[in-house]
Amino acid sequence: MSQKFDLIAIGRAAVDLNAVEYNRPLEETKSFAKFVGGSPANIAIGSAKLGQKVGFIGKVSDDQLGHYVTQYMADVGIDTTQMVKDDAGHKIGLTFTEIISPEESDILMYRNEAADLYLTTADVSEEYLAQAKMLVISGTGLAQSPSREAILKALTVAKSLGVEVVFELDYRPYTWKNAEETSLYYQLVAQRADVIIGTRDEFDVLENHHGNTNEQTIATLFKYDPKLIVIKSGVQGSNAYTKAGDHYHFGVFKTKVLKSFGAGDSFAAGFLYAYSHDLGIETALKYGSAAASIVISQLSSSEAMPDLAKLTAFIHEAERQEVH
C-alpha cells in the first residue's frame, strides 16, 4: 500500500530569533529576525521543501507564536493536523542566536516549561503513524515527561507497524537533568531505531563515555535494530556505516559560512531525501552535505532550506568547478 506520508517528524516546533547584526556578542545585539525553529520542525520543513510528503506531531503554544509556527509549516506543505495547541498556557520554546564570526556562532535557548515537552501519549495517533513510511524522532523530546512517553509511544507504534524509525540525536543539554539519565533514554531509543544520525559528540553522550571511535560505537549499536548509522563531524564531513559492513565518507562543500547552526538539521533533510528515494548512501551523504552548506551560508535554519532544484544545481556547480 502506498503511504500518505514519506515521513512524519515528532517533537519540537519552536521559534528562532536570529541576530541580524553579525560579528558581535548577544549582549550587544539589538535586532533579531523571527523564523520557525526546533530541530525536528527544521527537518520537516527541509524535507517538505525538497518535495517529500511530510506530517508533524507536536505541541505548540496557543498564542501568536504558536499560530505563526503552525501556519508557516502548513504553508510549506506540511500536514499540521497533529500539531496540537497547549491548553494549559505553556509557551513555545525560543532560541536566540549569536553570530560573533563564521567560526564562532552560538545559540541561547529559552525552554522552561516549553509547550513541546507537554506532548502526551494521547496526542500520538496510531492511525496517523500508520500512514507513514518513516518516523523521525528527535532526542530532545525524550528529556522530560510527558513528551518522553509520547515519543516512546510513537516509537513502539511505529515498530509494530513496520514504519522505519530514524533517530536524530539532537542533544541539547539545557533540558536534561544528568548524563546517566540522558544516556539511558538515548540508548533505549537508539537500540530500537533503524537509522541513527548524530554528531560524534552526541554519540559520546549516548554512550556516556568520551573517546570511543566510530568503529567502537557502531559495533555496539549494530548488535541491536539499527541498520544504518551516520556520524557527522562538522567541517570534517560525515561517515555512514551499514550493518552489512559498508563504510562511506563524504567531506564538505566549501562555502562562505555565515554561522554554523542549522547544519545538522539541513544535513538530515538532504540525507533523508536521497535515502528515501533509494539514491544510495553515498549520494545521501552528498545531499546532506550540500543542504548543510547552503543553510550555513544563510541566516535561518528553516527558511534557508533548499528545494530540490536548488540543491541539485548547487551540487552540479560544485562538481563542475572541481573538474576544472
Ligand X SMILES: O=C(O)C[C@@H](O)[C@H](O)C(=O)CO
Ligand Y SMILES: Nc1ncnc2c1ncn2[C@@H]1O[C@H](COP(=O)(O)OP(=O)(O)OP(=O)(O)O)[C@@H](O)[C@H]1O
The three cell numbers locating residue 238: 560525515
Are residues 15 and 93 in contact, defined by beta-carbon separation less than 8 angstroms? Answer: yes
Write down the least CB distance from residue 260 to ligand X, Å. Answer: 8
Q: Which stretch binds ligand X (CB under 6 A): 9-17, 72-80, 238-246, 248-256?
A: 9-17
The three cell numbers locating residue 164: 522505519
CA dihedral sign of residues 115, 120, 122, 123: positive
The three cell numbers locating residue 89: 498556557
User: Nearer Cβ to ligand Y, position 147 or 260?
Assistant: 260
By CB under 6 A, tell whether 233 contacts ligand Y: yes
Write down the least CB distance from residue 262 to ligand X, Å. Answer: 5
Of all residues in this chain, which one has the CB nearest to ligand Y in the complex? 264
Write down the least CB distance from residue 252 to ligand Y, Å. Answer: 4
By CB under 6 A, tell whether 16 contacts ligand X: yes
Residue 279 interacting entry, from ligand X, ligand Y, none, C-beta within 5 to 8 Å by type: none
Q: For residue 34, report the phi and psi dihedrals to the nearest 5 degrees.
A: -95, 130
Helices 200-207 and 179-190, packing angle to 10 deg: 100
Of all residues in this chain, which one has the CB nearest to ligand X in the complex? 37
Taking alpha carbons only, the member of 54, 53, 84, 71 closest to residue 15 is: 71
User: Nearer Cβ to ligand Y, position 163 or 205?
Assistant: 205
* Residue 309: other Cβ atoms inside 10 A: 10
By CB under 6 A, tell whether 14 contacts ligand X: yes
User: Nearer Cβ to ligand X, position 58 or 226?
Assistant: 58
By CB under 6 A, tell whether 260 contacts ligand Y: yes
Write down the least CB distance from residue 304 to ligand Y, Å. Answer: 12
DSSP H helical ranges for the chain: 39-49, 64-75, 126-129, 147-161, 179-190, 200-207, 214-221, 263-276, 281-295, 308-323
Q: How does strand 54-61 pair with strand 32-37?
A: unpaired
Among 237, 243, 248, 308, binds ligand Y (CB under 6 A): 237
Sheet holding 238-242, edge to edge: 83-86, 54-61, 7-10, 134-138, 164-168, 195-199, 228-232, 238-242, 247-250
By CB under 6 A, tell whether 262 contacts ligand X: yes
Among 11, 265, 270, 292, binds ligand X (CB under 6 A): 265
By CB under 6 A, tell whether 264 contacts ligand X: yes
* Residue numbers at the binding site for ligand X (CB under 6 A): 12, 14, 16, 37-39, 42, 95, 107, 261-262, 264-265, 301
* Residue numbers at the binding site for ligand Y (CB under 6 A): 199, 232-235, 237-238, 252-253, 255, 257, 260-265, 267, 289, 292-293, 296
